[in-house]
Amino acid sequence: MGLGQLGLVAGPLIGGLFTEYATWRWCFYVNLPIGGLSAAFILLIRIPDRVNRTASRPPLGKVLAQLDLFGFVLFAPFAVMLLLALQWGGINYTWNSPTIIGLFCGSAGMFVVFGAWEIIFAKREAMIPLFMVSDNSLCLRL
């Protein structure tokens, strides 16, 4: 995971160096040896046989019963309305337009309903259990 993050940071920097001091085509040429090395590793690494895990896997109905689907039905509109308000605000609509204010109010209302569902009804089977949010050991102390 760390190498992936390093690539995200170093990639644009190296690409900028290539385009500034060489030609933009080098951004593609550098991928050839890396791709060849990756292909060699894939060909040389032995991939183990697939393990039959069907015996220990619970049935799909039991897995679906453990999910907080109603919590998701309440959380999804909150997230969609909030993201639409943030996306459209200042571009498609002014920030004080009824559409943006309505989206913000609707997302706040859905967040309150979602929180009430999680705390009052779902409890430990909630999509975001309260003990995970309120446990002090999970918080970073400054």
Query: Tell me: the pLDDT tens digits for 85-129?
Result: 999 999 999 999 999 999 999 999 999 999 898 888 877 777 877
| pLDDT of 109 | 97
Interval 22-38: pLDDT, tens: 877 887 888 888 899 99
Q: Please, which residues bridge with residue 93 across strands? A: 89
Quote the pLDDT of residue 142.
41
Pick from 85, 134, 82: nearest CA to 109: 82
pTM for the whole structure: 0.55
Task: Return d(Cα 46, Cα 42) in angstroms, integer.
Answer: 8
Q: Which structural domain, as residue segments, surrounds residue 107?
A: 60-138
Q: Are 68 and 126 in contact (CB under 8 A)?
A: yes
Do 99 and 72 share a domain, yes or no?
A: yes
Q: Are residues 38 and 96 in the same domain?
A: no
Q: Dig out the tokens for 117 from the structure.
A: 């569902």
**Do 68 and 33 fall within a single domain?**
no
**Does one domain contain both 35 and 79?**
no
- pLDDT 10s digits, 39-68: 999 899 887 777 766 667 778 888 888 888
